[in-house]
Amino acid sequence: MSCGEGSFLFCCLLLLSLLARGESLQPEKKIHNCTYVVTVETTCTKGADTSNHVSLRFGDTNSNDILVRHLNSKHVRRVDPLEPEVLDDVPRKPFQACVVDEFHVKGQCVKSPICYLYLKLAGADDWRPGYAQVKVVEAAGSDHLSSDYFYFRRYLPRHVWHGFDACDKEVTPFGIKHQRKVFERSHHLIKF
């Protein structure tokens, strides 16, 4: 056996041993996840509360779409609607009338300000949210990525995405033209 054949054989054995240990030949892509604080107010109208599952979808102009299938399970605490003071950290049922709920969500990081937010109600009862807002809770200087307030103040239709999109608008002589947003099956699901 010559020297060239021996080094080729050694390289093949080394490669096989790395693959057998589960090593990958491709460089790993590090997916950086960010933490978001979602604040949702339920109005004080009679029958405004819900016990149904609520889903949330938000994102930025760069098609960074964050989808939370059951926002109810991410409930952290109730906050005072007039001041950013925490009322309690006791787990309670979210989406009660006259209450502002806070949820912590993890997902891929947005690269531009959050400009759309949709809610989806699944179930038989009605729900009337007042507003929703998403804050990016990461390194200093990420405040500019947080969303403005999205005001609903009406009962949500059931089983459809309902919300607002302030991304990609263009002023034309006929009014403001919005780009149509089509959602595909998300590969950025937040699993429980």
Lowest mean pLDDT among 47-51, 80-84, 135-139, 158-162: 80-84
| Residues 55-88 pLDDT 10s | 999 999 887 899 999 898 877 776 666 555 555 5
* pLDDT value, residue 28: 45
* Cα torsion 22, 28, 29, 32: sign: positive
What does the pLDDT average to over 18-27?
Answer: 53
Those residues whose C-beta lies under 8 Å from the C-beta of residue 178, and which sit 6 or more positions away, are 165, 167, 168, 169, 170
**pLDDT tens digits for range 89-143:** 666 788 989 989 889 999 999 988 999 999 999 988 899 999 999 999 875 567 7
Residue corresponding to tokens 């409930």 = 75
Of the chain, the percentage scoring pLDDT greater than 70 comes to 63
Domains and CATH numbers, the chain: 33-179 (2.60.60.20)
More confident residue, 159 or 13: 159
Q: What is the mean pLDDT of the chain?
A: 78
What does each C-alpha distance from 137 to 29, 98, 116 come to in angstroms? 23, 25, 18
Instruction: Band the pLDDT of 173: cuts 50, 70, 90.
Output: confident
Distances (CA, A) of 28 to 16, 23, 111, 116, 187: 19, 10, 21, 31, 18
105 in Cβ contact with 36 (< 8 Å): yes
More confident residue, 128 or 17: 128
